[in-house]
Chains A and B, each alone.
Chain A
Amino acid sequence: MQAKKLNVKDKYRLLTRDLDWEFSYEDRKEAFPYEEFEGIKITDWDKWEDPFRLTMDAYWKYQAEKEKKLYAIYDAFAQNNGHLNVSDARYVNALKVFLTAVSPAEFASSNGFAWAGRHYGGAGARVAAQMQSIDELRHYQTQIHAMSHYNKYFDGFEEFPHMHDRVWYMSVVKSFFDDCRSSGPFEYIVAVSFAFEYVLTNLLFVPFMSGAAYNGDMATVTFGFSAQSDEARHMTLGLEIIKFLLEQHEDNVPIVQEWIDKWLWRGYRILAVVAMMMDYMLPQKFMSWKEAWELYFEDAGGALFKDLERYGIKMPDFTETIKNEKDHISHQAWRVFYSFGHAAAVHTGTPTAEELDWLSEKYPDTFDQYYRPRLEAAAELEAKGERFYTAGLPQLCQTCQIPMFFTNVDEGKPTEIVYRESTYNDERFHFCSNECKHIFDREPEKYVHAWLPVHQIFQGNCGGGGLDEVMEYYRMGLGEMNLDYKGSPDEKRWKKWKGVA
């Protein structure tokens, strides 16, 4: 029988799309109840374009190849005490941030995509979401395994899931994923696939992975490259979902624009921690936050939004603010971590003289004016044995949950903290920016429920009123994970291993 052979596109359609059918015996809305409540209109799921036509057999094959290679490295790393090859033990604190703040979010993402992968009406989108769900599980577990070795030799990794649900800076990331997971299926995927995985991913991934490469961390570099090929599929899903929604119905455009605005902002705010990591937590630096932002957003993002113009989508208004903030946020964020280092599961400290000079060079307009003096003053106190920790607790933004350190850069007043507020049901809520306030004002009933770590401490829900009790609630202990790098158990061990005084 010599029947005509199908092309790749049609074959894939038969292996995915065509598995679906029109319901006769049950109301399809009973099986797929969440498609309409967001106001998104899908007229024809058939218009969905599958970017990567990956069938399960190919998935298993190629992913297994990647796993074999990856775990061979993990084994070699462990067998050869690979942790001894990092530039300095200070570097490992960047990994602690990753495992405690980011990794659990991978699992949250896996959960979100499982839900979306069950509930979209279109089989093509479902399959893509399901593959991402299992990919994110991969990332969670390969990260846990990569860090497993570090956990055996450094403090700060051992309570990552417990802390992710409780600790102040980790709630920034947790609340992002709680936010999109509690939204409907289309907002979810715009938030994660488009805003995070497409627009912003290079600003999370490249810094951590390049940071790892520059600091001798073979395990993390290998993980990073191995995961990146999954990310390529995730990115294309992000681009596809945006175009699909915008092409399906013109009524979708304003809804999608609002989501783009909201989620790029929330995603950008999370990156404050990455900015800080790049500029302050890498003994061997490869790029400043400012440079990364210019390369990965200002350059690359421009091309993307040009492409989306034809749908009526525009670049969010706050891109000016982000541009203005790029000279400031890493320094401001580090200041907060340094000051609250007694309640953080990473070691902080003041930069070395060389590092200060590097920062001056990378931030010629701001560092020497606003930030060097404060760091030098802190170093002086340290030298006198008076390394300071702020006794109070920071005010958190109700929306992004970051301590409110952001300043009025838009009006050229970088030493003036931005305070915004809204009143809802006779209660006052505080925000770090117009954007965070706007997000709240759109859906106040949703955001009032946020479990703000600082509020919760004050309400007595975190073990008690003293630092000791809170640290016990966090399972952070005292004098191991926290405080300055200088004098830490990590430092002592590192010196012993390296045979230095």
Chain B
Amino acid sequence: MARVQIAFQDNDESRYIVSAIEEDNPDSTIHYEPALIRIENEGSLQINKATVEAHMGREWDVQSIHVNLVTLTGNIDEDDDYFKLAWGGQ
């Protein structure tokens, strides 16, 4: 199956997002690279606003992902409450 991937700049804000991703996508793999955190998963990966907010302790706009995002692979599905990557109609 094809892997989806998302990578963030390694900074304070991103680390909260990453820990939220870890919680909601337990099978995903997290790679720590120079200045970068890269997360891979088979098939799909979902970031949930509620989980990020719980980890961060404050309100978080899904669109603010743009500030720390480095790259991604997969088809995007975006809404007020979540951000999802998936391959082939998943």
Same complex for A and B? Answer: yes
Is A53 an interface position by the 8 A CB rule? yes
Contact of B25 with A by CB under 8 A: no
Enumerate chain B residues within 8 angstroms of A225, measured Cβ to Cβ. Answer: 9, 35-36, 70
- CB–CB B66/A229 < 8 A: yes
Q: Within B55-73, which residues are at the interface with A (CB < 8 Å)?
A: 63-64, 66-73
A51 to B74, CA, bound (A): 11
Contact of B35 among A52, A221, A300 (CB under 8 A): A221
Contact A65 B67 (CB under 8 A): yes
- B27 at interface (Cβ–Cβ under 8 A)? no
Contact A8/B88 with A225-B35, A228-B71, A300-B73 known, Cβ cut-off 8 Å: no
Map CB proximity to B onto A221-254 as digits: 1 under 8 Å, 0 otherwise. Answer: 1000100110111011001000000000000000
**What is the size, in residues, of chain A's interface with B at 8 Å between Cβ atoms?**
30
Q: Does A303 interact with chain B (Cβ within 8 Å)?
A: yes
Whether B80 sits at the interface, judged by CB under 8 Å, is yes
- Give the contact-size bracket for chain B: 20 to 34
Interface residues of A, dominant DSSP:
helix
B78 touches A235 (CB 8 A): no
Is the Cβ of B79 less than 8 Å from the Cβ of A9? Answer: yes
Q: Does A42 belong to the interface (CB within 8 Å)? A: no
The CA of A236 and the CA of B79, in the complex, are separated in Å by 15
**A231–B71 touching, CB < 8 Å:** yes
| Complex contacts, B69 vs chain A, CB 8 Å | 228-229, 232
Q: Is B75 an interface residue (CB 8 A)?
A: yes
Q: Does B54 count as interface, using CB distance less than 8 angstroms?
A: no
Is A62 part of the binding interface, using a Cβ–Cβ cutoff of 8 Å? yes
In the assembled complex, how far is the CB of residue A90 from the closest CB belonging to chain B, in whole angstroms? 21
- Cβ of A7 under 8 Å from chain B: yes
Residues of chain A within 8 A (CB-CB) of B50 are none
Least Cβ–Cβ distance between B33 and chain A, in angstroms:
9
The answer, yes or no, to whether A202 is at the interface (CB within 8 Å) is yes
Partner of B70, one of A53, A214, A232: A232
- B66 pairs with A62, CB closer than 8 A: yes
Given A9-B79, A213-B34, A225-B9 in contact, is the A307-B87 Cβ separation under 8 Å? yes
- Tell me whether B66 and A235 are in contact (CB under 8 A): no
Q: Please, which residues of chain B bring their CB within 8 A of the CB of A58?
A: 63, 66
Residue B3 interfacial (CB < 8 Å): yes
Q: Residue A144 at the B interface, CB < 8 A?
A: no
Minimum CB–CB distance from A115 to chain B (whole Å) comes to: 25
Q: Does residue A47 face the partner (Cβ distance < 8 Å to B)?
A: no
| Interface contacts beyond A232-B72, A303-B2, A303-B3: sample of 18 additional A-B pairs, CB < 8 Å, sorted by A | A7-B80, A8-B78, A9-B79, A54-B63, A54-B66, A65-B67, A66-B67, A213-B35, A221-B35, A225-B9, A225-B35, A229-B66, A229-B69, A233-B66, A235-B71, A235-B72, A236-B76, A306-B88
Residues of A in contact with B (beta carbons under 8 Å apart): 7-9, 51-54, 58, 62, 65-66, 202, 210, 213-214, 221, 225, 228-229, 231-233, 235-236, 239, 300, 303, 306-307, 310
Q: Which 4 A-B pairs have the closest CB atoms?
A: A303-B2, A229-B69, A228-B70, A62-B66
19 A-B residue pairings within 8 Å (CB atoms): A8-B78, A9-B79, A51-B78, A52-B76, A53-B78, A54-B66, A58-B63, A62-B64, A62-B66, A66-B66, A213-B34, A228-B71, A229-B66, A232-B69, A232-B71, A232-B72, A303-B87, A306-B88, A310-B88
